[in-house]
Structure 1
Amino acid sequence: MGLTYYTPYVSGLTNAARDVAEGLVRRGRSVTVVTTRHDDALPVEEWVNGVRVLRAPVVARLGKGTIAPALPVWLAAASKGAGVVNLHLPLLEAGVLAAAARGAGAPVVLTYQCDVDLPPGVAGEVQKVVVDASSRVAMRLATTVCTTSLDYAEHSRLFASMRGKVEGIPAACHDRSGGAPRFRDGTGFHVGFLGRIVEEKGVPWLVEGFRALDDDDARLIIAGDFAKIAGGSVIDAVRDAIGGDDRIRVLGFVPDDALPDLYASIDAFALPSVNAFEAFGIVQVEAMMLGVPALASDLPGVRVPVQRVGEGVIVAPKDAAAITRGLEQLRDQHVAGTIDRPALAERARQHYGVELTVDSYERVFDAARDAARR
């Protein structure tokens, strides 16, 4: 596998890569991850839960991206004798890495997480053009392009480049059951958010929408990292939006072992994403797998879990009033007891889960390897 950030960095992209890598190792496969040394405190090489991780030195940073000249060299070396190389995009060096892997004799499967979305301005537009061009090169060289849903693929800027070789595979979603509701504050309606506190998550709009909820007993729990974020956090905007509303709590980073308690503490989950950099939303699915309905933005890919599971609310992005109405609907359903939570959880588990995702990737990887050998 090749990607910019790998564990211990936390994001949907890195978690998706980690879950597939470790899932394949559990099945007896050998997996090497070639990534960047985004934190100088990390070792250049180590084994993480059975996965060999190589981290190329970073010589410069460009927004959320890194410049690591050794990355393609190391990936080419690791590709020799590999059954398949899986690159996770968006990735500045995608085209170079795909060419390096093919040059080493390995077939390439891409995991295209999302289109790049950068702040307005000349620098952002230039970066976007360069990354998109690199992605198109990688797609031409790839056997298969995996996206978290066909809905997202069909609305991507790069759909023309992946047409005919795209496959929808949801990101791996974990069973977070068994938690205790230790984050609850009273018996009122509790809404939860979990994710990096960054622009694309739309947290200020969620705060504004929640604050308009006429319910003194309602609570909003905002969990997620804002301290170590590539490209910067919007935590100041979130705090400004909260003002003095003591119904809202910002927890900061919540480790994996505390996530069951977080999900057990909420009655609804909110994913108010605002742009194409969000393409799925693992966290909303993990809530659904525990019978917690979700409010999600009407964005390609993001809306799919709610549509597929058949429970929850879809709202327009960047629309605080729509969020308020959606939360009112979920609150009223919660109070009336009209949501069949066990049935919701069962439907979500039929469609999503770590092993289902690893099954799909294993099938795609084996097909690419077998085709290259013929």
Structure 2
Amino acid sequence: MSADREYDVVMALSYYAPYVSGLTEAARVVAEGLASRGQRVLVVTTRHDASLPAEEVLNGVAVRRTRVVARLGKGVISPSFPFVVAREARRAAVLNLHLPLLEAGPITLLARRTPVVLTYQCDVAMGAGLVDRLQQAVMDRSVALAMRRSAVVCPSSDDYAEHSRLAVEMAGKARAIAPPCLDRSGGRPTFRDGPGLHVGFVGRIVEEKGLEYLVEGFRRLDDPDARLLVAGDYAKVAGGSVVERVRRAAGEDSRVRLLGFLPDASLPDLYASLDVFALPSVNSFEAFGIVQVEAMLTGVPSLASDLPGVRMPVRHTGFGTIVAPRDPEAVHRGLVELQRAQPDRAAGAARTRAIYGPGLSIDQYAELFATVGK
């Protein structure tokens, strides 16, 4: 990277640690991985929680948060955010924007000559209301402008890029890099409760995850010893949680257990307790599913929805099964199939590691940033 720049990489995204989502975790792991290799990394984000400091250093990464003045659905409004990002980008070798990001287009204009790499996490999936449709249209136009001005666009997979609403804008610039996945192996099965099939989910309890379909499909199992362990935040979720919908689907079935938010330190034990990991996503706001790959890396097969990007880890490894989204009966059949097949866990983990192993994504981003930032 250029020695005459203050930063090697400036990253920008609306939410960052300690907020937890697939998007924020992907950015955090790459940022910290680059910092551990001696890169000078600054993350510019919003101060979505007023109790957070405006500036701090997290695991070697400088973090700067801009003031939030209002909230709009899942998003926040921070008038100073694009200007701070652009100002810092002009002092960096590379600007890395994590999309979807409402301000992406204007930021690329303000950043001037600094080369831009876009990490395209997913399309925005809004509701059917007029305001939602307007917000989605504005977002897509801003992202399309950013894509035209970027050097490279990094979707999570070629599959997702080909099916994205912005596939045309990505054409010729796309370089697929899977999000970074951590090694969660070595846990103890402390969440296990009996000999029955244990199915697990990790993630925010939000609409796009399709959890009610997972619950309904699981409840069709007639094994009283089966368990469905749902781990994820439903108290501090941008845009609101659907935990009551999940509870209604579970009814009085004591086999379904909501564990709430689990810290990273507990995830190895959860994965060690599972026979199947489920990712029952229902829309394009899910594009990969880091948690499913992390479970697969520990030897747990995945049941994944047949959606662009989401289905690729199972397709690439053969370690799991793919089911139709929004279909409880398909979920039920998939769980029965995996229970009967009993996939080779060691072989599945090895195949997953060869494609999505820890560090591979960081290696690819480091190489890309070094090339673009020359």
Q: TM-score, normalised by structure 2?
A: 0.96
Select 1:282's aligned residue among 279, 290, 306. Answer: 290
Residue in structure 1 matched with residue 257 of structure 2 by the alignment: 249
Structure 1 Cα separation of the partners of residues 227 and 372 of structure 2? 48
Q: Which residue of 1 aligns with 2:21?
A: 11
- Structure 1 residue 69 and structure 2 residue 73: aligned? no
Work out whether 1:265 is the aligned partner of 2:273. yes
The one-character-per-residue Cα deviations of 1:170-227 (angstroms, maximum 9, x if unpaired) are 0000000111111111111100011100000000000000001121111110000000
Offset at residue 291 of structure 1 (A): 1.0
Give the aligned partner of residue 296 of structure 1: 304
Q: For residues 9-49 of structure 1, give each alpha carbon's deviation from its aligned partner in whole angstroms, at most 9, with x where no partner exists.
A: 00000000000000000111000000000000000000000
Uncovered stretches (5+) of structure 1, i.e. residues with no partner = none
SS at match of 1:221: strand
In structure 1, what is the equivalent of residue 7 of structure 2? none
Partner of 2:362: 358
Q: C-alpha displacement at 1:369, in angstroms? A: 1.1
| Partner Cα separation in structure 2 for residue 79 and residue 317 of structure 1 | 40
Cα distance between partner residues in 1 of 2:278 and 2:19: 23
Superposed displacement of residue 80, structure 1: 2.5
Spell out, residue by residue over 1:49-80, the C-alpha distance to the aligned partner (whole angstroms, 9 max, x if none): 01000000011111111111111121122112
Deviation at 1:296, TM superposition (A): 0.1
Paired residue for 1:342? 346
Structure 1 runs of 4+ with >2 Å offset: none
Give the SS at the match of 1:99. Answer: helix
CA distance in 2, matches of 1:161, 1:3: 20
Q: How does 1:131-280 map to 2 (within 5 A)?
A: 131-280=139-288
Aligned-partner Cα distance in 2 for 1:148–1:91: 16
2:5 — aligned with what? none
1:368 to 345, 349, 372: 372
Q: CA deviation at 1:81?
A: 2.8
Q: Give the aligned partner of residue 88 of structure 2.
A: 78
* Counterpart-to-counterpart distance in 2, 1:95 and 1:287: 36
- Letter of the structure 2 residue corresponding to residue 349 of structure 1: R
Give the distance between the partners of 1:353 and 1:310, measured in 2 at CA.
16
For 2:334, which of 326, 330, 347 is the aligned residue?
326
SS in 2 for 1:262: helix
Q: Report the CA distance between 1:353 and its aligned residue.
A: 2.7
> Which residue identity does 1:340 align to in structure 2?
D
Alpha-carbon separation, structure 2, partners of 1:146 and 1:325: 34
Q: Is the 8 A contact 1:117 1:277 kept in 2?
A: yes
Deviations 1:136-158 (A, max 9, x none): 01001100000110000000000
Question: Aligned letter for 1:41?
Answer: S
How many pairs were matched up? 364
Partners of 1:152 and 1:58 lie apart in 2 by: 31
Q: Say what the alpha-carbon RMSD is for the aligned residues.
A: 0.8
Q: Give the Cα–Cα distance (whole angstroms) in 2 for the partners of residues 354 and 41 of structure 1.
A: 32
Cα distance in 1 for residues equivalent to 2:367 and 2:314: 26
Question: Which residues of 2 match residues 81-92 of structure 1 at below 5 A?
Answer: 81-92=91-102
Question: CA-to-partner distance for each residue in 1:106-144, whole Å, 9 max, x for gaps?
Answer: 100000100000121101100000000000010011000
Measure the CA separation in 1 of the matches of 2:248 and 2:256: 12
Residue type at the aligned position of 1:18: R
Using the alignment, how far apart are the partners of 1:97 and 1:354 within structure 2? 31
Between 1:353-362 and 1:320-329, the stretch displaced more is: 353-362
* Aligned counterparts of 2:109 and 2:14: Cα–Cα separation in 1: 17
Question: Aligned partners of 1:84, 1:213: CA distance in 2, in Å?
Answer: 51
TM-score by length of 1: 0.96
AA aligned opposite 2:186 = G
**Structure 2 partner of 1:45:** 55
Percent identity over paired residues:
60
3-state SS of 1:173 partner:
coil
Determine if contact 2:86/2:108 at 8 Å carries over to the other structure: no
Cα offset for 1:354? 3.2
Return the alpha-carbon distance in structure 2 between the equivalents of residues 67 and 81 of structure 1: 24
Residue 310 (structure 1) aligned with residue 301 (structure 2)? no
